[in-house]
Each structure stands twice: as C-alpha cells, then as structure tokens.
Amino acid sequence: MSVSRSTTGPDPGDDAGVAVSVVVPVHDAMPYLVGLLRSLAEQDLDADAYEVILVDDGSTDEGPRVLDAWAADRPQARVVHQENSGWPGAPRNRGLELARGRYVFFADADDELGPEALRRMVEFADEQGSDVLVPRSVGVGRFVPYLFRVTRVDADLERVFHTLTPQKLFRRSLLEREQIRFPEEKVRLEDGMMLARAYLLADRVSFLGGEVVYHLISRDDGQNISVQDFDPDGYTWSIGEVARLIRENDPDPGRADRVVLDLYRRTCLKFYQPARWSTMPRARREKFLAAHRRFMDVHIPPALEDQLAEPFRTRSRLVRAGDAAGLDLEARESRDRALVAALVASATWRRLGGLRLSVEVHGARAGDEHRPLHLVLRRRGGDVVETLDLGSPGRVERPEGRPCVSVFDVSVPTAALSAGAGTTLDLYIQVEGEKDRTRLAAPLVSVLPPARSGNRVYSTVQNNLSIECGAG
C-alpha cells in the first residue's frame, strides 16, 4: 500500500481544525470521477476546513493518475493507493482511519455534491448537535426515496430507515466511540448494516432539507453496485443481518418491529410486484421464495405480517405459503388495476386549520396527467363527504421493473372535517373515470400528528388512514 499527499501537512492524528473529512472509495469510476472531483473543488467551505481522502481500490482505468494530479496542488487532499479489496467497505474504513475531521461524509466516486453541501451540513450539525445528518439527495437516472418535505432536527427514525446508503454526515466521535465500521467482505447492504447501528446509537439524527445536497448518479455502463445482478440467498441474508442489528440496537421493541416490517416490505416484497414477478425466470422465482420464507421464519411472525397494508399482506401470505401460482394470479389482477397502493408519507395540522397530507401513489398510471387522481373522504358506512383533486405530483419516480411512484401534497380543509363531525372518515385514492377506489394506507404510525380540536388521525388495525372527527 502507498499513500501520496500533495504536501507533508499535519499528522493524520491531529485534527488541525478540520471540520469534515470526505471519504471516497474509488474503483474504475472514470469518467464520473471527474465530476465528483469538480464538485469537491467547488465547495464554498473554507479549503482548510475540509479534507478529501480518496482511496483508490486497485483501479485499472485512468483514475489513479487523475487522483494524483488533482491532489498535487491541494493541501487538503490525500490519495491512498491499495490493492483491490473487491467491495467498498474496506476503502471506506481505510479512509475513516485517516480522517481528522469532527465529521465524516462518505461520498461515492460516481456522484456529485452541491456547491454548498459541506458548509451547510457542518453548520447545521454544529448548531443542532446532530450525530447523523441525512442530506436532501436526488437521483439522476435512479430512484432515491422521498423522506421529508422540510428540515427535521429530530428526524423520525422509521422514515429515516428508508435510506440505507452511506452518503450521510457522521460525527466522527460517534463512529469511534461505538466502533462503527463497514463490513469489508463482499456482501450486499454492507452500508445498511453500518447505518443501522449509526442511526440507533446516535443521540440525534437529523434531516437537512432545502437545496439539494447530493446527487446520486446512474452510470451509463451499469456499474453502480445497486443495479448489478445478485444472488437471492446472499441478498436476503444481508437483509436479515440489517434486521438483526435493528432489533439488537433499538431500545424500543415496538419500533424495531415496525422498522423491520417496513424493511421487509421494501426489500423483499418488491420482487413480487407484477412487473418483476411476471418476467422473472422460474428458477430465480424459486430461489427468492425459498430465501424469503427462511427470512420470514426468523424475522416476520404472522402477527407482525398482519400489520401490512394491502396488497403487501396478501403477497406476503402467498410467499409464506410458497404459493407461486397464487402470486401469478395476484400479479395478473394487480396489472389490471390502475393503482397498486397508496401510502401516506406524512400528515401535519395546518396552522390556519385543516390537515396537510403527503401521499405516495404507487401504480403504472399514477403520473398520467390525462387520468387525474382524487382523494376521497367517506363516512364509515355512509356517503362521500369530500372529493379533493390531488393535482400534479411534486415528485415522480419510475424505477425500472417497478410501478411508478408519485408524491402528492394535498390539504384536507377544516370544512370537510366538520362535515364528518361525530363520525369516522375513511380515506381513499381514486382514478378519475374509474369506479374502484384504493384505500389510503398508513403503515407508519409515527408520521401521524397528535389529536387536535377533537379530530384524531389514526391508523386502523388494517394499517389504513382514518380520521375520527369531533365537533370542533
């Protein structure tokens, strides 16, 4: 192993006033590496307040030469050349060993940071005492989960667990005190294993909204690890390891169950969505079914499975039974529906009255501007109280092989809640021109607000969203 530096500089053990260390594992990342380096050079944080540790993990392209040339006249840059380890965990850990900053940010060599990224993250974490800061990120040609609309000093962990990629700001003392590191063997979700411990051992996990901080870029050569082929057994084992770490480190068993259940829904049940399941080779189907049934035996007891919203609960029961024919039928029926599922991502009371909802709609026609979507409020066992137009989605993702995901913001007016006074309102999503409605699910209780003015927003036993309306 060799280490090249642009100057002799301070000893690596001396923090030398460094606010943040950016650690970047690099392996055959050209030409995307050039974009990352440009974005690092354009940071508006003082040059002596951040350092960049670039760990060349045995690259065979022009990357090593580009790294050395870029670092040659930048005192805050260090380049490490090492033999290929086969996976990003080892170079990230190596960079962490050399880091001197109060914070560490893990970037990937094929992504880019916004010009204000480091300064904004450091200032926020210093001011709020954040141990882990999740920045607002967007995907360029790839799917990135939607978390929150605005900054959250204390971010809801159940929602935060939707992002298990390493591009976060970590307080270095937390990582050292708890000896949090990335697994170095070639395993999927190695970053999720690291993040699970960091999230749950941190005193404060925050979300930084506003301007985009980080851009996750899809490579034209298909070399993003997240899109490469994988073995169902190994991938499912990794999900099980993340689930084990969640339960081992979360002091709240109920929350741990909900996080594991949602992890299972997002990472396992996604393979039974119609677009994926119907095109999957039979041998691969059998491997997924066998691996997921083993996972369920350990991590998803039937009572926990019952908390899933539809259509996930039906799919999960078919997986538990190993019923491939039933999954075929369910896939055919789902393809015939305009919407696959609708979930509430957040709910807040408006200052001047009414309820603000952020709604995720999953389905092939969710983003079709010619088929408007409506939020329907119906008295339980009675008639429709209000039909609200969702308008245009604020965000649309079209992940390959999965239904379109559109995010809408809609306000339920005070008048609609008053119209249901003394009753319960059930909420649905409906495609204009279609008779069927899709129940609006609320699988994460933590996104719901406390009761206000006699109105209570709650999740039913079937994990659907309802509102108990008072007189106020």
Residues serving a catalytic function are 191
The structural domains of the chain, with segments of one domain joined by +, span 2-227, 232-335, 341-468
pLDDT (0 to 100) of residue 14: 45
pLDDT value for 368: 46
| Selection from 279, 309, 147 nearest residue 214 by Cα | 147
pLDDT score at 145: 75
Q: How confident is the prediction along the chain (472 residues), in pLDDT tens digits per residue?
A: 444 433 323 334 445 589 999 999 999 999 999 999 999 999 999 999 999 999 999 999 999 999 999 999 899 999 999 999 989 999 999 999 999 999 999 999 999 999 999 999 999 999 999 999 999 998 887 677 778 878 999 999 999 999 999 999 999 999 999 999 999 998 999 999 999 999 999 999 999 999 889 998 875 554 545 444 679 999 999 999 999 999 999 999 999 999 999 999 999 999 998 878 988 999 999 999 999 999 999 999 999 999 988 788 999 999 999 999 999 988 877 665 556 688 898 899 988 788 999 998 887 554 444 468 899 999 988 889 899 998 888 877 766 656 678 889 999 998 888 877 788 999 999 887 777 788 999 877 778 899 988 899 998 878 889 999 975 4
Residue 65 tokens read as 């030469």
How far is the C-alpha of 394 from the C-alpha of 229, rounded, in Å?
A: 32
pLDDT recorded at residue 2: 45
Q: Please choose, from the candidates 462, 461, 465, the residue with its C-alpha nearest in 3D space to the C-alpha of residue 448.
A: 465
Q: Domain 2-227 sits in which CATH superfamily? A: Spore Coat Polysaccharide Biosynthesis Protein SpsA; Chain A (3.90.550.10)
Return the CATH number of the domain spanning residue range 341-468.
2.60.40
Angle value at C-alpha 238, between 24 and 110, nearest 5 degrees = 25
Within 8 A by CB and 6+ apart from 116, the residues are 43, 44, 211, 213
CA 396 to chain centre: 15
Predicted confidence at residue 399, as pLDDT, reads 64
Q: What pLDDT score does 400 carry?
A: 60
Q: Measure the CA–CA gap between 154 and 172, rounded to whole angstroms.
A: 19
CB proximity list for 97: less than 8 A, separation 6 or greater: none
Cα(207)–Cα(158) distance, integer angstroms: 13
In this prediction, residue 319 carries a pLDDT of: 97
- Maximum distance among all Cα pairs of the chain, rounded to whole angstroms: 76
For 281, residues 6+ apart whose C-beta sits below 8 A from its C-beta are none
8 Å CB contact between 34 and 117: no
- β-sheet bridge partners, residue 412: 355
- Neighbouring C-alpha atoms within 13 Å toward the C-beta of 266: 21
| pTM for the full predicted model | 0.74
CB–CB of 420/432 below 8 Å? no
- Beta pairing class for 205-208 and 132-135: parallel
If we measure between CA atoms, which residue out of 386, 462, 368 comes closest to residue 423?
386
State how far the alpha carbon of 327 is from the alpha carbons of 8, 43, 388, in Å.
Answer: 62, 50, 34
Residue 232, pLDDT score: 95
